[in-house]
Structure 1
Amino acid sequence: AYFLRPGDPTAPILYDVDRIRDGKSFSTRRVVAIQHGQAIFNLQASFHAPEEGLSHQVPMPDVPEAESLPDFKTRMAPHKHLLGEWYDRPRPIDIRYVDGDPMSRSRTPTVQQKVWLRADGTLPDDPTLHACIVTYASDMTLLDTTVLPHGLNWTDSGLQMASLDHAMWFHRPFRADEWLLYDQMTPTTSGARGLATGSIYTHDGQLAITVVQEGLIRRERS
């Protein structure tokens, strides 16, 4: 997926879907999201009918349980003055930082972070709905990883960050209303672009999704 222009949350979105191919095992679609007569988003999607095959995965990291960690508002309360009205917004996705306070922790350079996440509420038994919700949630916190090696965080003045492209591979079943561990790492940031990768595990350790995101990372010149 490529984010081409800023979206307007007050205007309808027209989705232009191109049925590229429908095969016995795979189907392919190309989607363009249009607002105000301009393309704002481009997506290429491949769907695969379930089938048996070889299976292996990288083990899930050993981390504290999500319920033992503070929720977002509790964790970020010391920084409420920096977040303004954003702090009080409703949060349909419950996010629990594993590695401590993300604001203070940013001052200790690192290339990785981990968060637990889940939808705040019980969802119907619709796998497509669960995939859509986790797709939405997968954009949260991932790009932040790209500035952690530089001792920065997303609230720093003069720092501009925006998603440029986003890719996901769905490996195994999961539920968005159960805890998922999002293990994130940034291999590089250069040329005003940062790259981050993420592995999303179910609570019982199954690798469900792999994510890769590239984002714009700009700092104002002094």
Structure 2
Amino acid sequence: MPLPRVMGDMVLLPTGDVLIINGASAGTAGAEMARKPVLNPILYRPGLPTVSRFVVVNYSPIPRLYGSTAALDTYVRVLVGGSNPHDGYVFSDVSFPTDLSIEAFHPPDPQAVEVVLVAPTFVTHSVGMNQRAVALQVERVESSSPPLNYDVEVRVPPSPTIAPPGYYMLFVVHAGVPSEAVWGRDMSAENGRCCFREPSSSRLNEDSVIFVRRSVAAHPWHDLEIGSFAFIMA
């Protein structure tokens, strides 16, 4: 770890990376027991060589200590909020005033296509509730019509132990750039195939998983900005 940290929170990202955020570099875990806030998040990239796995990223000026929280949303942002409770709401004349703001943290963008299920979760008190990211086996990727559209066939996990029934965000990741997610739930076998059922508000039936424009702004993969993927769940 490049920075010492107590009361940190970790969030699984659809790229397979882990965001380490919030916390302090001195003191102990607990209300009003820590000092020296760590303002720089760290990105842990398990696929890189050992000496390159930890990356220090841009800082936030807001201390997030005891009681802070972090959660991934469908736009590949990590929503960060909370921290610093006192005996009553104290906004001044203390080392770390109560903070009620929420920030949206964008992990940096880094060749193959990956399809990843991420369970809805939030992190607080250094404990991730229901964190789970499952990379699906890609069986086929083919160009379709119109141009810059693709059909992707993936195989769902063979056991509910790997992906228990429930709601998931489904991301497509290409060249390290994740798409906006669509919501789905309950993978189950029907007629020898597995179905990823989507709630009525999901865009999965529209065959339209569009890459987040923010994610590709600094990269040459401009086709991702207007490309889309249709899914066949095998």
Regarding TM over 0.5, the answer is no
TM-score, with normalisation over the residues of structure 2? 0.28
Which protein is bigger by CA-based radius of gyration? Answer: 2
TM-score, with normalisation over the residues of structure 1? 0.29
Greater helix fraction, Structure 1 or Structure 2? 1
Higher relative CO (Cα under 8 Å, sequence separation at least 6) belongs to 1
